[in-house]
Amino acid sequence: WNVKQLFVYITAHYKTEKNAFNQVVLWDKIIRRGESARLQYSRVNPKYYFWDDGFGLRGNPNVTLALQYNVIPNSGRLLNIYAEGRHVVSMPENYIKGRA
């Protein structure tokens, strides 16, 4: 009864030589009270792109994708929750400039 909305987002976490912890938001969605909170997506493009201050993503074999969400209440504490499960991906050595 106290939940106003959910802010759901996917983050990518990775290490580089310059920074021990990097985090980038790739996708997000706001789910308001009364809307269906069931998310079923496949082959979704990122809403936001990877931006790195160097070349830390290029060829990085250990980029972890995680689902997180904030429970935004009508009143009270703002909860930040990590969903269970992670997915580790390897980034390519070379980037492309367009889509095929």
The least confident of 2-11, 80-89, 90-99 is 90-99
- On whether residue 7 sits in a domain, the answer given is yes
- On whether residue 52 sits in a domain, the answer given is yes
**pLDDT score of 48:** 82
**pLDDT score of 93:** 84
First to last CA, the chain: 47
- pLDDT tens figures, 82-93: 888 899 999 888
21 token code pair:
């912890």
What is the band of 99 on the pLDDT scale with cuts at 50, 70, 90?
low
What is the distance between the alpha carbons of residues 72 and 76, in angstroms, rounded to a whole number? Answer: 9
- On whether residue 98 sits in a domain, the answer given is no
Domain carrying residue 47:
3-89
Q: How many domains does the chain have?
A: 1
Overall pTM surpassing 0.85 (yes/no) = no
Contact 4, 73 (CB under 8 A): yes
- On whether residue 9 sits in a domain, the answer given is yes
**pLDDT score of 8:** 92
**pLDDT score of 39:** 82
